[in-house]
A and B are shown apart, each in its own frame.
Chain A
Amino acid sequence: MNEEIIITVNNLKTYFYTNQRCNKAVDGVSFKLKRGKTLCMVGESGCGKSVTATSIMRLLPTLARIEEGEIIYHSEEGDIRIDQLAKNGKKMRSLRGSEIAMIFQDPMTALNPVYTVGFQIIESLRYHTKMTKRARRKKAIELLRGMGIPLPEQRVDEFLHQYSGGMRQRAMIAMGMSCNPKVLIADEPTTALDVTIQAQIFDLMNQLKETYKTAIMMITHDMGVVAELADDVVVMYMGNIVESGTVEEVFKTPAHPYTKALLKSIPVLGCGKNQELEPIRGNTPDPYNRPEGCQFNPRCDYCDEKCFEMPNDFKVTGTHHAKCWHYRKVLENE
């Protein structure tokens, strides 16, 4: 096994059971997470990005479960099958927070309003380190300072509502990074922030990646974020990975009609007002009433009879894969 790989996800299937129905939110997803690299997972809302992340953390709600596939964490002591651990068991808990940490979209709801920020950072240290009470507090202050929060000695005892929006997200990252995790999963960490603060947060994450060789898995629907941060990109649509590869490959030579359409539908900064934007036609299908075969076929320009069969994962180059029967046509049709 490659030394650089920290998490392998193989053919993961996570289904939701609500209202007497079964929703195949994630239906056969495979990818690899590398040390010191950022993997961006893009797709529109409801495509299964967050579900994949919560499956890795084993934080799925009770009405959901992992049906098939494997999630392997390559720790220093050997491989751990995360999908086979007890959901809130001892082993899983010892991984969470210390080896794999997660930060969430909206710090206002993701942090507890009735405890101080310091309390919530220290809580994590308490169960994963052997520090004394005083050392923990000192470490919490250090972390906040590291995240560029002014007056950390004072801020550590303040409540969430006393923080500004950008500071809240930084406090959350401080909490995530408190035990120097090997993997950081970020679920749209900047969606709730404005653009200037977004840039600060990204700088921070790039620093972390370089200093600690943390593997970052970033979930986003913002192509701009991908361009800025990603080493590798995974594009998801309706519970499947439709295309994956390095950021250059996916952006310059998209091999899946969906990726192509997605890139055409967003404006590029600096290209002026007269860009031709093409929205993707049609709507995302109802997850209970999925199209047969390739999930994108009702909205696709390349669609023919063959597309009513689920396409295989085609290798475009060594690292670039696409799930489309017509990927050659898509590539050539530049």
Chain B
Amino acid sequence: MDSIKQQEESGIVKNKLQNRVLNKFFNNKLALIGLVVFTFIVLATIFAPLICRYHPGKIDVINALQPPSAKHILGTDKIGRDVFARIVYGGRISILVGLGSALGAALIGVMIGCYAGYKGGWLDKIFMRISEIFMSFPQIILVLLLVSIVGQSLWNLLLIFIVTGWGSVYRLVRSQMLSIREEEYVQALRAFGLNDFIICYKHMLPNALGPIMVNITLSTAMFILQETSLSFLGLGVPLNIPTWGNILNVAQDLSILKENWWIWLPVGILISTFVLSVNFIGDGLRDSTDPTQQG
């Protein structure tokens, strides 16, 4: 408090950035750390060929189950593949699945929620019922059920995540729209005789962007966790594609769990770190876009 008072009295206002939202976000240390870690890991997976000495699929049975050494920094797995390379390349798929599903679900949820929330009536009721049905299934049960119907593949998984994930975005956007709809300016736009689509997508949607961004971030974290859990069970991305979950799959074997920590421990810690960084970003966004938050 004293430092704030001094600043105020000496006339220096610390905040040079004009945007209050950005300002609060960059004042949040955890969010900033999250952003740095997130960027670092994403860049590492994008430039995977530059930082890995081995191909993630290269089998080398003679050097199987090697502990970490100068040659293989994180050792090798049961069939001699370099664990480090698999982690870095695996990150590509895992992040793609997480981010892709979150964006896909958000796209559908926003498209429907924005229009249905604005128009209301039977259209809104129908989508509300559909989303209720989706929400009454525990997420992982619905995902597994769909996996068993459509079969296991990378694209199927992405599709299933989108199908099971749009409901929450839809509800969020809808409730935002319901409150924005009551604002004076929307009435004014309607009085001008503007097209419904222009009113809701161009004029109303930008006012709901804060919560949507937060939702996208947090559901990215959730989908990454789900992908790893499903792949760990052997029911997610097919096992021949390296993903973070698939690398961990072998840890179901108690002897690997006990003797060969380098195969599963580093990747588990990496997943946790990555998801944590995404959650920090989401939390920072939430705090900075929420006008009721003070302090």
- Whether both chains belong to one complex is answered with yes
A20 to B16, CA, bound (A): 12
Q: Which of A17, A20, A63, A65 contacts B27 (CB 8 A)?
A: A20
Segment among B1-9, B76-84, B105-113, B257-265 that sits at the interface with chain A:
B1-9
Q: Which chain B residues lie closer than 8 Å to A22 at the CB level?
A: 1, 4-5, 7-9
Q: Is the interface of A mostly helix, strand, loop or mixed?
A: strand
Contact A65 B1 (CB under 8 A): yes
- Number of residue pairs spanning A and B whose beta carbons lie under 8 angstroms apart: 25
Q: Does A333 interact with chain B (Cβ within 8 Å)?
A: no
> In chain A, residues 6-26, which have Cβ atoms closer than 8 Å to a Cβ of chain B?
15, 17-22
> In chain B, residues 85-119, which have Cβ atoms closer than 8 Å to a Cβ of chain A?
none
Question: For this complex, into which size category does the number of interface residues on chain A fall?
Answer: 10 to 19
A22 to B3, CA, bound (A): 10
Number of chain B residues whose Cβ lies closer than 8 Å to a Cβ of chain A: 12
Contact B15 A63 (CB under 8 A): no
A21 to B14, CA, bound (A): 9
Q: Does B148 interact with chain A (Cβ within 8 Å)?
A: no
Min CB distance A290 to B, Å, is: 11
Closest residue on chain A to residue B7 by CB atoms:
A22
Q: Which of A15, A19, A65, A67 contacts B295 (CB 8 A)?
A: A19
Min CB distance B116 to A, Å, is: 34
Contact B4 A21 (CB under 8 A): yes
Closest residue on chain A to residue B20 by CB atoms:
A19
Q: Which chain B residues lie closer than 8 Å to A65 at the CB level?
A: 1
Min CB distance A285 to B, Å, is: 15
Contact with B along A233-272 (1 / 0, CB 8 A): 0000000000000000000000000000000000000000
> In chain B, residues 1-32, which have Cβ atoms closer than 8 Å to a Cβ of chain A?
1, 4-5, 7-9, 13-15, 27
What are 15 of the A-B contact pairs (CB < 8 Å)? Answer: A17-B1, A17-B5, A18-B295, A19-B294, A19-B295, A20-B4, A20-B15, A20-B27, A21-B8, A22-B1, A22-B5, A22-B7, A63-B294, A63-B295, A65-B1
Q: Which residues of B contact A (CB under 8 A)?
A: 1, 4-5, 7-9, 13-15, 27, 294-295
Known: A20-B4, A22-B5. 15 other contacts (CB 8 A): A17-B1, A17-B5, A18-B295, A19-B295, A20-B14, A20-B15, A20-B27, A21-B4, A21-B8, A21-B13, A22-B1, A22-B4, A22-B9, A63-B295, A67-B5
